[in-house]
A and B are shown apart, each in its own frame.
Chain A
Amino acid sequence: MSTALPPGLPAPAQEPVAKPYWEGTRASKLVIQRCNGCGAHQWGPEWVCHRCHSFDLGWEEVAPRGRIWSWQRPHHPVHPALNGFGPYTIVLVELPEAGNVRMVGNLLCEPTAPVEIGAEVEAVFEPHDEADPPYTLVQWRLKG
């Protein structure tokens, strides 16, 4: 499958604190932190629960659905891989079924498509199998 952005952008370092997330995306699952102490969802990953200070943070698969909380459409290329490409669309997606945490991703759409705050979106898993180590990004598209 094709990718939202051209090849050559930095890959995510799959750091220990975020390992279950990256493993989840490889299996097309959205997995985020949830505190075993108080039940709070948390994103991005951290070593402690911001609410109850428990270090016993679990990971939970959540519904790969959300709504657009904000957006932007960059034109200026911020990386050599983006020269001559763009504009492209970045969305901040709120996950109402996971404690309203927010995630950043690309909205899969035409570069001139109108974007509406509040619009419902669903996750699209974008594998980068050729990378070493391979990884999968979470992208978003408007719910059909």
Chain B
Amino acid sequence: MSERTLRGKVAIAGIGETTYYKHGQSPDAEFKLALQAVLAACHDAGIDPKEVDGFASYGNDRSEAVRLAAALGIKELRFSNMHWGGGGGGVAASVANAAAAVHSGMANCVIAFRSLAQGQFARYGRGQAVAAAAGDDAFLFPYGLMSPAQRFAMKITRFMTEHGIRHEALRSIAMASYHHAQTNPSAVMYGRPLTEEKYDASRWIVEPFHRLFDCCQENDGAGAVLVVPADRAKDLPHKPTYLLGTAQGGHHRSAAPVHNAPDYASAHFPTVAKNMWAMAKLGPQDVDVVQAYENFTGGVLLSLVEHGFVDPKKANEFLVLENLLAPTGKMPMNTSGGNLAECYMHGLEMVNEAVRQLRGTANNQVAGAEVVAVLGGPMVTPVSSLVLGTEATL
């Protein structure tokens, strides 16, 4: 039996994104943003949008595949896919699902995307206005535990306390994103640098490890990538970027109710990371650039640990700003500004940046980047990650 893998089987041929806006400031409706990003990805790939035959997304994206297909006059929709789970846990999974569809022959040309104009809908930082909380929430909301920051805080408290990791490690993660955004004119935080003093003076969202700058913003925009079979990518305008490995899911009972996951102080990547590296036939030591989804900086720490990039025993020494900066840091991370400072596009902007790094066209280019890892939204479940590489890595 031939090896079952996606390694080298598909490529991202095009990337697209809209203007990124602060929360509530998009002049365009969310669905229009989705259309713009999809068309931009097709244009970038040099492929007629009517050739697209599939759409994959995540986080309960409101821009439905069939509506996109109708609006764009798609001739034949062969694949539509929504990945379960909230936030950006499914960012890499949407690309993986598109890849699986393309490689299996179910579709030929699939868009993975995220569109999000949160300003036109509900705020994440506020609990839902409900009279009675049901399911898990019945055991959380009455105690004032309602927002994503609060849902994850106790994982971070436990992990950092257990390993003696200082808040300064999280500050470095936040500052790396802001630093890179200062040379990215597309970034929402372009022109708004973050200093140690500003970080330290920022207000508490949740003690003991969530200051304001540890938390993502809410933004409006959309991003999309176009996935095609590997052999087709060779004939398209850009240097191909290949999917080397990807995995999604969660470890044993990661979604156990009321914070009862056996391995609780976790971003839920232990098995996912192992499976991703196995498919990629690579490890963290092979990676030139890391894109690590920040919903909260503590989640980035957990995610880096579980993917093997950081040893918790050395986290205080390793997670210092200079190690995280392009072009010369030991582990350049979130090189376009990430969720914190480029745009909170639920990580889709990180997939685009991974492709730019491999094409050699990033604002904060790491010279000769051949392998880029994208670690999807941590601490939710299911989670997902992927590794992309240039032709040289096949």
User: Taking beta carbons and an 8 Å cutoff, which residues of A are in contact with B?
Assistant: 4-5, 9-15, 18, 43-46, 50, 69-76, 78-79, 82, 87-88, 90, 92, 101-106, 117, 137
Contact = CB atoms under 8 A, between A and B. Distances in A.
B6 to A, nearest CB: 31
B127 interface: yes
B134 interface: yes
Given A70-B264, A74-B145, A74-B150, 9 more contacts: A10-B131, A12-B141, A46-B257, A72-B157, A75-B206, A90-B143, A102-B258, A102-B259, A104-B145
A137 B253 CA distance: 26
B138 A71 contact: no
Contacts of A88: 144
Given A12-B139, A79-B144, A137-B142, A74 B206 contact: yes
A94 B136 CA distance: 17
A125 B158 CA distance: 26
A12 B260 contact: no
Leading 4 A-B pairs by shortest Cβ distance: A44-B257, A12-B138, A72-B153, A70-B154
B155 interface: yes
Nearest to A118: B161
B205 A44 contact: no
Nearest to A45: B257
Contacts of B140: 104
B125 A13 contact: no
Interface of B: 125-127, 130-147, 149-150, 153-155, 157-158, 161-162, 203-208, 253, 256-260, 264-265
B102 to A, nearest CB: 36
Contact of A76 (B132, B136, B206, B257): B206
B253 A50 contact: yes
B133 A105 contact: no
A43 to B, nearest CB: 6
14 contacts: A9-B141, A12-B133, A13-B132, A13-B133, A13-B138, A43-B258, A73-B204, A76-B205, A78-B144, A82-B144, A90-B150, A104-B258, A106-B143, A117-B158
Given A13-B134, A18-B138, A90-B154, A74 B258 contact: no
Contact of A87 (B135, B137, B207): B207
B63 to A, nearest CB: 27
B157 A44 contact: no
A12 B135 CA distance: 9
B258 A106 contact: no
A75 B257 contact: no
Given A10-B133, A11-B132, A15-B134, A76 B125 contact: yes
A87 B135 CA distance: 26
A93 to B, nearest CB: 10
Given A9-B141, A87-B207, A79 B127 contact: yes
A27 to B, nearest CB: 18
Contacts of A10: 127, 130-133, 137, 141-142
A106 B144 contact: yes
B138 A103 contact: no
Q: Which of B127, B143, B203, B256 has the most CB of A within 10 A?
A: B143
Contacts of B205: 74-76
Given A5-B144, A50-B253, A74-B206, A44 B154 contact: no
A78 B147 contact: yes
Contacts of B162: 117
A102 B265 CA distance: 13
B161 A117 contact: yes
B143 A5 contact: yes
A5 B138 CA distance: 15
Q: Which of B126, B127, B142, B259 has the most CB of A within 10 A?
A: B142
